[in-house]
Structure 1
Amino acid sequence: TGARAVRANDGDGEIIMISEEKHLPYSKVLLTYYVSGEVEQNDMYLTTKSEYDGLGIKVFWGNKVTRLDTHNKQLFLDNSINIDYDSLLIASGGSPILPEPLKKGINGVTGLRTIEDAYFLRRAAVNKEKCVISGGGMIGVKLACALKEMGADVQIIIKSPRILSKVADEETSFLIQRHMEANDVKIRTGSNVAETVAENSRLSSVILDSGEVIDCKVYAVCKGVKPNLEFLVNKSGLERGIKVNEKMMTDFYDVYAAGDVASTFDILQRYNTNTAIWPHAVEQAKIAGSNMAGENLVFRGSVSRNSLSIFGLPMITIGITNPDFNKEDWDFSIINDSNSYQKLIYRKGKLAGAILLGNIDRAGILQAEIRKNAIQ
């Protein structure tokens, strides 16, 4: 997206792209859909080699940036090549956060951020392997559903008392957990995976913090994502991404950032944070690329939105969903019937968040109202 925006505003400038992966760009959003068999590999690609050729983009496939020298405007690659730049867009994405004891290269321990991860998980599901997922957030729940739909034996292990605790309220978590358990996904709360056990470098089981042993062939860690910024000399304070202004420029002159690595202004929370959702990433990359080529576009700010389908049960959350209702600024209303659950959250009488489960028809209208209220 960023390269397209550059070329749309600059027909002659040299465009160089560096990708640690060896594939054409693909939709990370569709990885769980590939695991579940709903899409195939070719459905995930976002572009073609012919488009690269047509846009005149030179690509270094399978190469990693090891260091960024912003003073001399230079990138250092792992193949000993150095690249000079006039403007730079950092769109290096994120990687799963793996606890230190699990970083052993055991066959069977994985995250879900790449096509290779999805290949492995889909094969395991087809073979009806026993799978343990650590983490009950959006990715963990999506992956559990995908694996189960392909025939795997799935169990989620989470330390918190409920799934989706960061994006949903207690009632939504309860309803979704009940629905997942009715579809034969086991969910264990209040526990954590403390250790993995391998035989000949192949995962055989995990050990919980209680000492209980669970036999499994797959252990998927879905406990958050860290921005890929290892090439920066000073990474302190960048756990939520590299801060950008409304033009997507970082504190380094002529260096822009977009997507999972960018910390943008959340217009509801009123501070910079990483809102890692696909529509924002696309918009940010388009703005950054355009501004790199001389335009003066402005990012309108982030609003959190999450969407998933749990065995046919849709859920969408928008904006602030778990405020401290003991504070006088906050209030809520609930509509709960046999077909759906809806919770609207208000700050000083204005809509600031929404949770929709089952009937999600009004999601677009509510999101527009939430954004409008945030900027007034």
Structure 2
Amino acid sequence: MSYVIIGNSAAGISAAEVLRERGIKEEIVIISEEEHSPYYRFMVGKYLAGKVTSSEMVYRSREFYRDNNIIPFLGEKVKGIDTESKKVLFENREYITYEKLLIAAGAVPKRLMVDKTDYGPIFTLRTWQDAQNILDVVGKSEKALVVGGGVIGTTVTQALLSRGQKVSLLLTEPRLLYHALDERGSKLIEKMLINPDLEIYNEDRIIEVIHNPFDFKMVGVGLNSGQEVRCHFMVMDLGVEPNTQILRGAGVEPGRGIKVNEKMESVFPHVYAAGDVTESWNMVREAYTQTPNWSNASSQGRVAGINMAGGEEYHPGTLDIYTGELGLPYVSVGLVNPRQEGYGEDYQEKFREREEDLVYRKVVLKDGILCGLVFVGEIRGAEKAIKLIKERTLLTEKDIEELLRV
């Protein structure tokens, strides 16, 4: 009997540790397309900015596998799963069989498709290697273009500016951090970004890549508005989608996650899923959503591991969580734009602001229960507030004022 885990990050490692904690003696195999030992994926932006070292990135050392009697298949690409014969199929090696399988393969960045020619260098930022690839061209190229102003795009922009790189930031949505923050929070982050080496282009899109006709190197892009933006490399932040390619033949739709129940069981017998690869119950939105973040992945991996080991554990649901640590810190949790997202008028929004100090705090409530928050500049109390959301605590006016105190 063997336990196979596809994924070597928060969800996969949490599950493997729980299996051993629960006394599972059978073989455990962890498969990852990356060759790194487990690292903190949420820290790749700080690594790009030079704020953390390689050693600080390490989540579990190479000795983790030996100490827990785990067989690592690192640098191995899975090409498919045969759920009927319980086989994991590889591109470059023999298949392996499983008794129980956890798919914790994470998410992959969406890429821009302008035409069929890749004039590169065009990067995304998801992995440690992605960060290293970007660092290889920083300082050697005159200007960078960051496409997308989400959490990754904002982080990359800050990191590149901190290294003296000139940057153009192309917003593909109405404002910066459109899904993560509300309008006031976005404006404060944009104020913090002001820099003579930064140009921001609002809500536009690329329609062509301009290249040098002699060496075909990228020299700029043409926008739908008619503007041309000079750049010599691009970093894309167009969001992520669950890494479900290995299950396409089993009926999982492109762009959709693996739907799981509260025990992290999929519709396939003996197959569990956890983390960014899933569609799971969102406790605030009360719907199945893709909610990629480290906290959700870690907790889901633990629940999956308990149930794979024969226990009975239920996940309470996921939460949208966005954080930024470079420059002006912020944290956003739960439902922060109820009207923008069409959730109706049943929500109450309260905020306090100290604009001159770039400090802003907002809470979103429904029937006195906290369902969302935005803290910018000062993020104290965020962990306590997250606990209040999870426990659906009915708040007093005093509780609310304490959360909003600036």
TM-score when scaled to structure 1? 0.93
* Secondary structure of the structure 2 residue equivalent to 1:251: coil
C-alpha distance 257-104 of structure 1, shift in aligned 2 (>3 A):
farther
Show the counterpart of 1:273.
289
Tell me the CA shift for residue 187 of structure 1: 1.8
Distance 2:183 2:172 in 1: 15
* Structure 1 residue 107 corresponds to structure 2 residue 120: yes
* Secondary structure of the structure 2 residue equivalent to 1:288: helix
Distance 1:98 1:374 in 2: 41
The residue type equivalent to 2:347 in the other structure is W
1:51 to 51, 57, 64: 64
Farther-moved stretch of structure 1 (261-270 vs 20-29) = 20-29
Distance 1:253 1:297 in 2: 18
Q: Is the 8 A contact 1:242 1:261 kept in 2?
A: yes
Q: Is the 8 A contact 1:135 1:158 kept in 2?
A: yes
In the alignment of these two chains, the number of paired residues is: 375
1:329 to 322, 337, 346: 346
C-alpha distance 374-108 of structure 1, shift in aligned 2 (>3 A):
farther
Show the counterpart of 2:148.
135
Q: Deviations over 1:2-25 (max 9, x none)?
A: 222222223420111221112212
The residue type equivalent to 1:111 in the other structure is T
Q: Is the 8 A contact 1:317 1:354 kept in 2?
A: yes
Q: Is the 8 A contact 2:114 2:206 kept in 1?
A: no
Distance 1:103 1:309 in 2: 36
* Structure 1 residue 145 corresponds to structure 2 residue 158: yes
Q: Is the 8 A contact 2:109 2:241 kept in 1?
A: yes
TM-score when scaled to structure 2? 0.86
Distance 1:372 1:183 in 2: 45
Farther-moved stretch of structure 1 (44-53 vs 236-245) = 236-245
Q: Is the 8 A contact 1:124 1:152 kept in 2?
A: no
* Secondary structure of the structure 2 residue equivalent to 1:354: strand
Show the counterpart of 2:303.
287
Tell me the CA shift for residue 123 of structure 1: 2.9
* Structure 1 residue 244 corresponds to structure 2 residue 263: no
Show the counterpart of 1:211.
226
Show the counterpart of 2:277.
261
1:167 to 168, 173, 180: 180
1:358 to 343, 358, 377: 377
C-alpha distance 206-78 of structure 1, shift in aligned 2 (>3 A):
same
Tell me the CA shift for residue 161 of structure 1: 2.1
Distance 1:238 1:107 in 2: 25
Structure 1: runs of 5+ lacking an equivalent: none
Distance 2:47 2:326 in 1: 16
Tell me the CA shift for residue 77 of structure 1: 0.5
Q: Percent identity?
A: 31
C-alpha distance 374-216 of structure 1, shift in aligned 2 (>3 A):
farther
Q: Deviations over 1:44-75 (max 9, x none)?
A: 12222222122222222221111111111111
Farther-moved stretch of structure 1 (268-277 vs 167-176) = 167-176
Q: Is the 8 A contact 1:125 1:148 kept in 2?
A: no
The residue type equivalent to 1:283 in the other structure is S
Tell me the CA shift for residue 323 of structure 1: 0.6
Q: Is the 8 A contact 1:163 1:177 kept in 2?
A: yes
The residue type equivalent to 2:79 in the other structure is T
Farther-moved stretch of structure 1 (180-189 vs 43-52) = 180-189
Q: Deviations over 1:247-306 (max 9, x none)?
A: 111111211111110112111100111211111111111221222122222212112121
Distance 2:394 2:125 in 1: 35
Q: Is the 8 A contact 1:86 1:254 kept in 2?
A: yes
Distance 1:124 1:132 in 2: 13
Q: RMSD between aligned alpha carbons? A: 2.2
Q: Deviations over 1:301-322 (max 9, x none)?
A: 11212111342x1111111000
Distance 1:102 1:63 in 2: 30
Distance 2:262 2:192 in 1: 41
Q: Is the 8 A contact 2:165 2:197 kept in 1?
A: no
Show the counterpart of 1:96.
109
Q: How does 1:299-314 map to 2 (within 5 A)?
A: 299-311=315-327, 313-314=328-329
Q: Deviations over 1:192-236 (max 9, x none)?
A: 122223454543322212333222121011010011111111454
